[in-house]
């Protein structure tokens, strides 16, 4: 099952040790030689997309909102984790990096622990559970 292998590899290389501001996550994940990050692209050239938004609510809580188009490949999906973490490490403060790091780590652990990645319900249930667990700890 290649997806599970890629998820476990991501877990091993990206989440230990903890991510710090300005870390080069693409190098850490050993994919900096196969990815090119561009600052802008024409909308007509986009074939598939994976987006993650960090939102701060008026009460000071933070939330992650993600959108994944239906035509992404397994490799794009797994690589997107590294790209999102890389962006966070370059642009966010330590508190926000820690929040994203911990939620994504719990999601990967859930899938690595046997959650079915092909079950569409899991794309909602698993991140929500991770958020709820982390919210209680903070």
What is the pLDDT at residue 53?
A: 72
Count up the domains in the chain and report the number.
1
Give the residue numbers spanning the domain of 68.
Answer: 2-137
* End-to-end CA separation in angstroms for the chain: 35
Give the closest residue to 100 by CA, choosing from 48, 137, 65, 50. Answer: 65
What is the pLDDT at residue 61?
A: 65
What is the pLDDT at residue 138?
A: 67
Distance (Å, rounded) from C-alpha 113 to C-alpha 96?
26
Distance (Å, rounded) from C-alpha 19 to C-alpha 11?
12
Task: Please identify every stretch of the chain with a pLDDT value under 70, giving residue numbers as ranges.
Answer: 1-17, 54, 57, 60-64, 138
Phi first, then psi, for residue 67 (nearest 5°) are -140, 125
What is the pLDDT at residue 108?
A: 80
104 near 85, Cβ under 8 Å?
yes
What is the pLDDT at residue 104?
A: 80
117 near 4, Cβ under 8 Å?
yes
In this prediction the pTM is 0.69
H helices of 1-138, where? Answer: 2-14, 25-28, 74-91, 94-112, 122-137
């Amino acid at each position: 099952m290649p997806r599970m292998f890629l998820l476990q590899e991501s877990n091993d290389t990206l989440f230990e040790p903890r991510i710090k501001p300005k870390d080069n996550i693409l190098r850490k994940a050993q994919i900096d030689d196969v990815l090119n990050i561009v600052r802008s692209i024409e909308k007509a050239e986009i074939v598939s997309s994976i987006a993650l938004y960090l939102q701060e609510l008026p009460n000071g809580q933070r939330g992650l909102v993600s959108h994944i188009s239906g035509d992404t490949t397994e490799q794009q999906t797994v690589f997107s984790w590294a790209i999102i973490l890389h962006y966070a490490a370059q642009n966010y403060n330590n508190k926000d990096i820690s929040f994203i790091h911990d939620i994504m780590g719990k999601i990967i652990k859930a899938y690595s622990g046997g959650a079915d990645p092909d079950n569409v319900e899991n794309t909602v249930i698993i991140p929500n559970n991770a958020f709820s667990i982390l919210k209680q700890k903070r």
